[in-house]
Structure 1
């Protein structure tokens, strides 16, 4: 499960419908640029704003591309009903820590144990406490790692914190730690993370892959300046609600037909897209 995974946007046509051919081409382009795999129906895809038919269409397109390229597919799926729709050949489901309820660490562990027992594919825990409201200690993360069928974590706490350091200092066997905060990718890789799930990698996929490869090879002299540059890119990409800036940059580059997003998101305010569009031309 190591490497760079890109959580795909859902591009929209001028009439507001998903641009299926554009989604397919974008998926192929990202894999051809070196991404290890793709995430379908992650947060970046705006899944809550898609109809059931649109969600199935996104999953069908991305799954087919991954099969054709022999790439790993992760699917955003948080409920038993959603998990039942994940293709059995997917590498994993990306499953959010229960949001809003704040069930405590014991409740989170019990929740994932129940989901993993019934899921058709392994689970990657999506830990993003500034969205869910639920903190998890390093000890709780190790309990999750011990569940049969839980194979990794998207770690997105908004910091390179003490729990990340403790987890990566002695990683559980067979448990993959993927950075989920794009701006912290380089330090997380330096600590031993296996890769990342990175919306910013829509823009400079090959550079993000090169950064992961450099840290894996122990080439700090190459990794540090590249990591600093990509951290600045990621900070710009997330300066407004994701994926608005990324869509604006891809549209400016002619890669998607519109920069449109669906409510409750609003299109990015002008100013950042030209800088990010320039990064696509480097």
Structure 2
């Protein structure tokens, strides 16, 4: 039996609010699984991280964003006043759809191409054991057989421009169960690189102009990050199915830097659960 809005008791309102909150939760699950890394939840988490940083609080994990959105959905019944539990649940979906229009997806910028000619002319830092020497790979001939999508807006950094030449080595001890390109397309392999000085974030694997190569359980990546500050703090986040999500920091200097090695740790926990427990501050 339906009631008019003024006839609902506090218990009825709590039930409506719970239904709307569950609708929000269901919608966020579909958004995370279907939108992949384009989900606006990551953008909300980044915005929230900036707010908590200004307030001197710690970063809130992704599930905190979901709880806040569920609270918004529960409170929305006070304004929209659905007349059935089913309507309240559907309203939760609608509220999330409206809220997500406020935040465009952010995949990160395209990682610039390496200045291979300049890098080959510059001497390597003392004591540096480049993977080029260890693995017998030419720094000039890194051909990416796995995944490289050149973007027209990405141009090679000229030799006279300053920047941070990085060479990243990501080690997967148990290897990858599929081709990296398949993992990237399915959302099971993701990566972001953040420059804390310029606040610029790059996507490691998608729309990248970087040289990327995968062989024998190790991924090699070469790029040159724009910048003119003598030292920059870089942070990389790598996510791969079957491994624990890793955040690694690296202090980069202008010019050629030592190899940045990231070793992934095997994990049986699904990536979705790991992502919910992690703050996405960049």
The TM-score, its normalising length taken from structure 1, stands at 0.26
- Decide which structure has the larger Cα Rg and report it: 2
- Which one has a larger percent strand, Structure 1 or Structure 2? 2
Q: Which is bigger in relative contact order (C-alpha 8 A, separation at least 6)?
A: 2
